[in-house]
């Protein structure tokens, strides 16, 4: 634990000293103030108190103190949760494989906001303190990148009017990356990485030893087997079901229509293509008939109904198309045609 604390202190002191000298012009700050200024720097100053993260990340002198937490290598290996609105340092195991950001942090949500910073493998504290550049690289969630771009455009639009006072300095600023504007740099995290993160929401951090695109903490939360890529054996990996299909990774047939998820998502890519039915909708085309074959009715008044009667994912002779409201392309749905058949005494409807 002492070594972990030293790493935290090293990160904070090196980054804070560099930022304080170049961007903040402060000669002395407490460790707590320095660490929070690191976080505050990543945004566009402390002026916009309405923004959800900026208002929480200012130094204690301006606002409330933000707590710190360390997630060590053992915690990353077993799976842990990054709490929201907390300064978090996490350390990746040295024997881990490189892992993508969205898998490591357990989220594909394009709207959530988090940002972080990783030290380089050859990090040198003395060089970092004397340099006028930040050591290492920054990572930003998709939602954070979007918010930063919107804020930057707002600041640029408020700074000058093109017809009235566009100066040479303004033009130059538009051509180059403005000082203080940090952009996304890291998409893959390497073994032994030492990183900082601040998130707006809880994040499930962990490794992905079964390579199913869901880390161990996510698998804990969904009750899947972290050592098996496809827990329910339906042909679609746990991660694809959780993050893309939003189907059940522990049920072979999520919507109960008789077709297993891997038959509906035939190419197992986690997306509903034009040639596929939806594994979370028992009636994809909304024609009143199940995509596969299932019992419909109450108590004794039940019967087997469905479009893919042999459950093979193919429209065979005598079957209607579960992707088309009307397989014949007219104004009568497959469901209505089915019931008309029953009402006229049909035996093979």
What is the residue extent of each domain of the chain? 2-205, 211-278, 283-349
Q: What's residue 245's pLDDT?
A: 97
Q: What's the pLDDT tens digit per position in 287-305?
A: 999 999 998 776 667 788 9
Report which listed range, 15-24, 54-63, 246-255, is most confident: 246-255
Residue 1's pLDDT band (cuts 50, 70, 90)? very low
pLDDT at 34: 36
Q: In terms of Cα–Cα distance, which of 271, 263, 349 is closest to 311?
A: 263
User: In this model, does residue 322 exceed pLDDT 50?
Assistant: yes
Q: What is the per-residue pLDDT across 78-99, written as a single tens digit (0 to 9) for each?
A: 999 999 999 999 999 999 999 9
User: Mean pLDDT in the chain?
Assistant: 79
The answer on pLDDT for 263 being more than 60 is yes
Closest CA to 243 of 202, 204, 196: 204
Confidence of residue 342 (pLDDT cuts 50, 70, 90): confident
- DSSP letter for each residue of 311-325: -SSS--TT---TT-S
Q: Where are the beta strands (DSSP E) in 119-243?
A: 137-140, 188-189, 194-199, 203-205
Phi-psi map region of 306: left, alpha, beta (phi>0 left; psi -120 to 50 alpha) = left
Instruction: Report how far residue 129's alpha carbon sits from residue 136's, in angstroms, rounded to the nearest whole number.
Output: 13
Shortest CA distance to 69 belongs to which of 189, 186, 203, 182?
A: 203
Q: Which residue has the tokens 């804020």?
A: 151
Gap between the Cα atoms of 317 and 15, Å rounded: 69
Query: 280 and 253 in contact (C-beta within 8 Å)?
Result: no
Please state which of the ranges 107-111, 123-127, 148-152, 173-177 shows the lowest mean pLDDT.
173-177
**DSSP character at residue 16:** H
Banded pLDDT at 64 (limits 50, 70, 90):
low
From the number of C-beta atoms within 10 Å of its C-beta (0-12, 13-18, 19+), residue 317 rates as exposed
Nearest Cα neighbor of 234 from 258, 260, 209 is 260
Candidates 190, 227, 194; CA nearest to 101 is: 190
Cα atoms in the Cβ-side hemisphere of radius 13 Å centred on 293: 13
In this structure, the strands spanning 203-205 and 80-82 are antiparallel
Beta bridge partners of 87: 68
| Among the ranges given (109-123, 233-247, 318-332), the one the predictor scored with the smallest mean pLDDT | 109-123
Mean pLDDT value of segment 61-77: 80
Longest pairwise C-alpha distance within the chain = 91
Predicted confidence at residue 121, as pLDDT, reads: 73
CA 220 – CA 99 distance, rounded (Å) = 18
Confidence category of residue 132, pLDDT binned at 50, 70, 90? low
| CA–CA dist 6, 320 (Å, integer) | 67
E strand or H helix at 303, and its extent? strand 301-305
DSSP run (H or E) holding 31 = helix 31-41
Measured in residues, the chain has a length of 349
CB atoms within 10 A of CB 110: 10
């Amino acid at each position: 634990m002492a070594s972990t604390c030293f790493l935290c202190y090293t990160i904070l002191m090196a980054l804070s000293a560099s930022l304080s000298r170049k961007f903040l012009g402060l000669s002395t700050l407490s460790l707590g103030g320095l660490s929070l200024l690191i976080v505050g720097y990543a945004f566009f100053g402390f002026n916009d108190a309405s923004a959800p993260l900026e208002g929480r990340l200012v130094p204690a002198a301006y606002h409330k103190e933000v707590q710190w937490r360390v997630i060590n290598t053992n915690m990353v290996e077993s799976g842990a949760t990054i709490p929201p609105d907390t300064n978090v340092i996490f350390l990746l195991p040295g024997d881990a494989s490189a892992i993508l950001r969205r898998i490591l942090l357990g989220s594909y949500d394009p709207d959530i906001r988090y940002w972080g910073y990783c030290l380089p493998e050859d990090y040198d504290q003395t060089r970092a303190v004397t340099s006028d550049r930040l050591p290492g690289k920054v990572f930003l969630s998709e939602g954070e990148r979007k918010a930063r771009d919107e804020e930057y455009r707002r600041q640029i639009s408020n700074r000058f009017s093109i017809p009235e006072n566009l100066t040479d300095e303004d033009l130059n600023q538009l051509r180059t990356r403005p000082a203080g504007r940090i952009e996304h740099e890291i998409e893959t995290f390497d073994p032994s990485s030492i990183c900082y993160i601040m998130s707006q929401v809880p994040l499930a951090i962990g490794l992905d030893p079964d390579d199913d695109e869901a880390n161990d903490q996510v698998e804990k939360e969904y009750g899947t087997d972290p050592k098996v890529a496809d827990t329910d054996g339906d042909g679609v990996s746990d991660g694809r079901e959780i993050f893309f299909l939003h189907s059940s990774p522990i049920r072979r047939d999520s919507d109960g229509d008789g077709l297993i998820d891997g038959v509906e998502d035939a190419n197992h890519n986690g997306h509903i293509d034009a040639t596929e039915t939806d594994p979370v909708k028992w009636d994809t085309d909304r024609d009143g008939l199940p995509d596969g074959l299932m019992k419909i009715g109450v108590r004794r008044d039940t019967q087997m109904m469905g479009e893919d009667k042999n459950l093979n994912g193919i429209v065979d002779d005598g079957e209607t198309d579960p992707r088309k409201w009307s397989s014949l392309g007219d104004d009568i749905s497959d469901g209505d045609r089915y019931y008309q058949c029953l009402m006229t005494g049909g035996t093979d409807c």
